[in-house]
Each structure stands twice: as C-alpha cells, then as structure tokens.
Amino acid sequence: MKQLMTGNEAVARGAYEAGLTFASAYPGTPSTEILENMVKYKDDLYCEWAPNEKVAIEAAIGASIAGARSMAAMKHVGVNVAADPLFTFAYTGVTGGFVLVSADDPGMHSSQNEQDNRNYATAARLLMLEPSNSQEAKDFMKLGLELSERFDTPVLLRMTTRVCHSKSLVELNDREEKEIVKYKKNIAKFVATPANGKVMRKNLIDRIKNMEAYSNTCEINKVEYNDTKVGVISSGVAYQYAREVFGDNTSYLKLGMTFPMPMDKIKEFASKVDKLYVVEEMDPYIENHLRMAGIDCIGKEIIPEMDELNTDIVRKAVFGTDAETIKSDMEAVVRPPSLCAGCPHRGFFYTLSKKKNVMITGDIGCYTLGSAPPLSAIDTCICMGGSISAGHGASKVFEREGIDTKVVSVIGDSTFFHTGINSLMDVVYNKGCNVSVILDNRITGMTGHQENPGTGFTLMGEEAAEVNIELLCQAIGMKKENIYVVNPLNLKETSDALDEALEKDEATVIIAKWPCILKKFTDQDKKDFDLSPKKCEIDQDKCTKCKLCMKTGCPAIQFGESIKIDAASCTGCGVCMQVCPFDAIKEV
C-alpha cells in the first residue's frame, strides 16, 4: 500500500517499521511533526517530549545502551545543545541501533541561523544519510538503524525543511519487531574515561574505514550515466533541483550516504565526465571533499552559499536563464508575522514598551515577535535560554559602570524548562539584579502546541506532574517576595509588577500567566482562567482616530476611513480597551 506522506511522517513510519522502541525529541521547526506522528504507533513504541535536546539524546542513548533501537529528533540548532553527549557516543558506539534526526532549515524560515549540520558528521565522525524525498526518508530511517548496529555507530539522518514538509508517495510495510539485546555491563565500552577513551578513539578510526568501504559500494550512492559531457554530484533535495534543471542528458552521482564520503566512487565518476558540477545547499560540504582529493569541479563559485535553493536559482546559476513564468502587474501581498489577536504576550509587551531606560533581552519563541513594530519591545535574541543569561551579563556591566539602565529578560515557559532554569540559577547565585519574566502561556506555542513539563500532560496524552514555576523559582533561591504572578492582559497589574521589580536591586521574577489564545483549553485552564467568549467594538462617536489602539499591534484592529475591530478576529482580550484614553472601545 502507498500513502502520501511528508518527510517527517515518513521518518516516523520508518522508525515504526524498523522495530524502534524509544523516541525522544524537543519540538522545533522543521522537525516537530516527527514525534507528533510517532504517537500513532504508541501501542508498539514509547515516545516523549524532553525538556531540551541534550536530555532527548541522552535518554535515547540510554535506551540504546539498554539494548533497544532508539532515536532522537531535533532541528539543526538543537544539535548544538545535544553535541556534548553526541560526540562521546560516537566514541562508545551503540548496543541497539541509534539514529539522530537533524532537520536543517536553509533559508531560516523559522530559525535564527541556517547552519549546515552535515559538518557535524565530519566533526563527530558519524555515519550520515541524506534523503531527498519521503520514500527515502522512510527507507533511510530503517537503513540508519541497521547500519548503526552493523558498524557500532550513531547515525545522523540529515533532513532539510523542504524534505521534512514536502509530500510524496511512500510504500508502507508492516512492523518488524526487533528483539531487545540483553543488557550486559561493559565498563570498557561505555565509561568514557581517558584510559578507555584512547581505545575507543582507535576503534572509531577502524570503524570509519569500514564505513567508507561500505559507502563506496552501497546502493544509496548511485550513478546515473547519460551523456558524459556534463556530470553532477548532489545529495538531498538539491539532487531533485539539479535533476529538473540539467535534465536527462546529464550524468549524475546521487549521494545518499555522505559521511564517510565514497571517494573511490566519486573519483571514478569524475574521471568519466568532461565537466563536473556540485549542486548542494549551504556549505560547500561535498565540494570541499572533492577539492581536497584534487578533483576539479564547479560549485560555490556559481551556486549560492546561503539560503534555500530551488530550480529557478540553480537554472539561473548554471545556465544564466530564467524559467518562463506568468507575468502579473500585482505585487505579492506580504503579511508580516505578528502576535495573534488575543495573544497574552501583547499586553505584557505593550506595557513593557512604555518603561524607560530598560534593555530587554529576548529568547526563542513566538513572543520574539514582540521585537517587531509597533511594540519593538525586545532588543536581543540569540538562542534558547539565552535571554536570562545575557540579561545577567548586561545587568552586571551596567551595575559596575554606574549606567542607569535596568535589564528585563523575557523567556517562554517551554524555553524556561529548556535552558532557562540554569540561567536563572546563575542570576540568583551570582547576585544579579535583572528582572526575569517567564511568559507562561501554558503550552509550547511557536511550534504548534506541544506538551511540556508545565502543561500536565505527556506527548502520549497521559496526565503528568505539572511543574509549578513559582515554587521552582523559590527552590533555586529566588525570594518569595520577589516573585510576581500577573495576568498579562491586565495592563495595570502588569505595569505595577514591572515598576516594583525594576525598583529592586536584586533578582526578581515576573510570571505572566495566561493560556495561548489558540490552545485547546483543558479543564484546568477553564477553571483557572476566565476564557468565556468576548468581543470588543469601537464606538465611532467617541473615537478620535488617535490610533493609540493600533500601537498594540493587534491584527484585529483595522484602519481605513475609520478605525474598526474585525469581529471575526477579535477575541475580546481587552488590551485595546484599556489603552484607549477616550473610552471609545467597549466589550460586547
């Protein structure tokens, strides 16, 4: 049977068919749907959301050592968080097969950078597979688990946004149960002390030699000989673009396994073509391997080194021609991203934007949109969990230099659990005085409402212990009187808490607690918050068109001949009603 699947769905299906036992991940676009689709198979395997990517991979490593086939999934920047255990696991090797799925994001569609994680395979010495469509995503997931056990190595399955989210036909097979390997204590293999590590390092070199021999003969590194005047070497989705642009009169070497690189096969292919192109997204990863081997090729001197490729870009780069398209006089309509109507973060950021002499360090989440006009209430965004740490450093500098600037650090609930707790610990321990604001919207918002330790539910829908953020802050040393819990949609309450916190010369925490407006409300949400349906409308007789309400950035407020509130978009959060100085907005 065949089914239309995204690459992410196909990865989950491949893991299921391969007899996987354990899967862990932290949600992050474009990888999120892998674990979400694992839930379909929860009768046959276990899956979970971890607080961060390092925890996810460590849990999966433990499952592998215990004898089970396991996997971890994350977006490209998540591998940075997971790198510590990953590099050592390449030394120790596996018991049950292990695959790490890295979902890279060329073009930064939903990321703060577009790093090329193929470089991790070289740096950590991991066998790496690169699927170019959904069928290969499923097949390579299964193959990865097999090769992991065959070569005693973790395997990196490198996906990209286009492969993750595009759909193609996938042939489905039944699950093949994989018996758990009986656990045996093996200190020499799994205890990475320096003495053991030297032996592991030698074994790793030998494994790489064996993997390279396989890479030169395996079917997923395949040659398609046509006219040999031009040859193309490519991998992943870039192969699909090259195939469409160069056509059937070109010869191709499609690489499915790209570490270790099949250099013998590459040299043979290069010797048989007159002109050789390398088509790949982002870094000159394949190209560099060729040049180190003395193979002449055309690559990044014409193919862009940044942003996502497509057929138009490749065609223009190689042939200097544009594809024929339908001409239109209409300019593309672009809707800049903004906080949703009714978003609880809007009230907080509007209030914060009014405070003077404040530096605002931000974090990764939908609340990062608080940096956009008209709110413009975030000054930095570096990485997950970085807001509180960066705020601490900035605050210490201002304090030492006598600069009259306070620091407010903004972080979401899921991001706080991810890496913000350690950062807040640093602030308390080192007697910092920045104001740490935890925007608790009761869910992991930006990636599509995944559960986290503060939601009371697991990925598999089971009720779970819910972390009490207020008590957690106290447990790491924050004074109870320096913790404020506010409704961010109540502007006065929020403003008063900010003013009080900013006046103090020691660490404070504000927990802005209100559910995401798009969330499927739980019974507990309905009990704790007034979520009854509401709408706001403008009394045109009272409205002076001062546009103060528009400075909230709410997409439900529209300006034309008059200022109106779109009834279909409005959720009745009441922020605009509190902002209006003329009492022209009322709840209906």
pLDDT of residue 202: 94
- Is the separation of the CB atoms in 103 and 74 below 8 Å? yes
Write out the H or E segment, with its range, that includes residue 411.
strand 406-412
Write out the H or E segment, with its range, that includes residue 360.
strand 358-362
Q: Please indicate, yes or no, if residue 555 is contained in any of the structural domains.
A: yes
Torsion, Cα 451 456 462 464, to 10 degrees, reads 120
Of 528, 557, 575, which closes a domain?
A: 528
Q: Are residues 176 and 276 located together in one domain of the fold?
A: no
Q: Are residues 393 and 410 located together in one domain of the fold?
A: yes
Report residue 28 as tokens: 């992050």
Rounded Cα–Cα distance for residues 94 and 88 (Å): 11
CATH of the domain at 486: 3.40.50.970
**Which residues are within 8 A (CB) of 289 and not within 5 positions of it... i.e. 6 or more apart?**
261, 263, 266
Q: Are residues 312 and 376 located together in one domain of the fold?
A: no
CATH of the domain at 565: 3.30.70.20
Backbone phi, then psi, for 156, in 5-degree steps?
-100, 115
Running DSSP on this structure, what letter comes out for residue 588? Answer: -
What would you report as the CA-atom Rg of the chain, rounded to the nearest whole angstrom? 27
Residue among 449, 435, 439, 419 nearest 370 (CA): 439
Rounded Cα–Cα distance for residues 258 and 215 (Å): 8
Residue among 58, 169, 142, 157 nearest 104 (CA): 157
Q: Are residues 358 and 461 located together in one domain of the fold?
A: yes
Residue 374: asked if its preceding bond is cis (omega within 30°), the reply is yes
pLDDT of residue 86: 97
pLDDT of residue 486: 98
Q: Please indicate, yes or no, if residue 339 is contained in any of the structural domains.
A: no
Q: Which residues pair with 512 in a beta bridge?
A: 439, 486
- Is the separation of the CB atoms in 97 and 146 below 8 Å? yes
Give me the domain span that covers residue 186: 2-215
Report residue 369 as tokens: 């949109």
CA dihedral over 528, 534, 540, 541, signed as positive or negative: negative
Q: Are residues 350 and 277 located together in one domain of the fold?
A: no
Side-chain half-sphere exposure of 234, counting CA atoms within 13 A:
25
AA letter at 65: I
Residue among 284, 337, 281 nearest 104 (CA): 281
Torsion, Cα 335 31 6 46, to 10 degrees, reads -140
Q: Are residues 379 and 476 located together in one domain of the fold?
A: yes
Q: Are residues 125 and 250 located together in one domain of the fold?
A: no
**Which residues are within 8 A (CB) of 89 and not within 5 positions of it... i.e. 6 or more apart?**
57, 61, 98, 154
Q: Please indicate, yes or no, if residue 336 is contained in any of the structural domains.
A: no
pLDDT of residue 332: 63
Q: Please indicate, yes or no, if residue 329 is contained in any of the structural domains.
A: no
Rounded Cα–Cα distance for residues 24 and 51 (Å): 10
Q: Are residues 24 and 47 located together in one domain of the fold?
A: yes
Q: Please indicate, yes or no, if residue 351 is contained in any of the structural domains.
A: yes
Q: Please indicate, yes or no, if residue 330 is contained in any of the structural domains.
A: no
pLDDT of residue 329: 67
pLDDT of residue 333: 65
Report residue 577 as tokens: 């009603």
- Is the separation of the CB atoms in 69 and 19 below 8 Å? yes
Q: Are residues 395 and 471 located together in one domain of the fold?
A: yes
Alpha helices in 364-490 (DSSP H): 386-401, 413-415, 421-429, 469-475
pLDDT of residue 242: 97
CATH of the domain at 267: 3.40.50.920
Residue 131: asked if its preceding bond is cis (omega within 30°), the reply is no
The number of beta carbons lying within 10 Å of the beta carbon of residue 35 is: 29
Q: Are residues 401 and 315 located together in one domain of the fold?
A: no
- Is the separation of the CB atoms in 313 and 322 below 8 Å? no
AA letter at 537: E
Of 286, 319, 352, which closes a domain?
A: 319
Of 512, 528, 544, which closes a domain?
A: 528
Report residue 90 as tokens: 């390449």
pTM of structure: 0.93
Backbone phi, then psi, for 492, in 5-degree steps?
-65, -45
Query: Helix, strand or coil for residue 46?
Result: strand
Q: Are residues 390 and 482 located together in one domain of the fold?
A: yes
Running DSSP on this structure, what letter comes out for residue 49? Answer: E
Q: Which residues pair with 438 in a beta bridge?
A: 411, 511
Q: Are residues 378 and 468 located together in one domain of the fold?
A: yes
588 residues of the chain, pLDDT tens digit each: 999 999 999 999 999 999 999 999 999 999 999 999 999 999 999 999 999 999 999 999 999 999 999 999 999 999 999 999 999 999 999 999 999 999 999 999 989 999 999 999 999 999 999 999 999 999 999 999 999 999 999 999 999 999 999 999 999 999 999 999 999 999 999 999 999 999 999 999 999 999 999 999 999 999 999 999 999 999 999 999 999 999 999 999 999 999 999 999 999 999 999 999 999 999 999 999 999 999 999 999 999 999 999 999 999 999 999 887 777 766 666 677 889 999 999 999 999 999 999 999 999 999 999 999 999 999 999 999 999 999 999 999 999 999 999 999 999 999 999 999 999 999 999 999 999 999 999 999 989 999 999 999 999 999 999 999 999 999 999 999 999 999 999 999 999 999 999 999 999 999 999 999 999 999 999 999 999 989 999 999 999 999 999 999 999 999 988 999 999 999 999 999 999 999 999 999
AA letter at 160: T
The number of beta carbons lying within 10 Å of the beta carbon of residue 425 is: 16
- Is the separation of the CB atoms in 90 and 52 below 8 Å? no
- Is the separation of the CB atoms in 508 and 484 below 8 Å? yes
Residue among 577, 578, 586, 581 nearest 544 (CA): 581
Report residue 588 as tokens: 């209906």
Domain count, the chain: 4
Q: Which residues pair with 509 in a beta bridge?
A: 436, 483
Q: Please indicate, yes or no, if residue 298 is contained in any of the structural domains.
A: yes
Q: Which residues pair with 169 in a beta bridge?
A: 4
Side-chain half-sphere exposure of 103, counting CA atoms within 13 A:
28
Report residue 11 as tokens: 């990865």
Rounded Cα–Cα distance for residues 312 and 325 (Å): 11
Residue among 153, 46, 137, 150 nearest 99 (CA): 153
Q: Please indicate, yes or no, if residue 337 is contained in any of the structural domains.
A: no
Rounded Cα–Cα distance for residues 85 and 50 (Å): 15
Q: What angle do CA 582, 586, 588 make, to 5 degrees?
A: 170
Report residue 553 as tokens: 């950035």
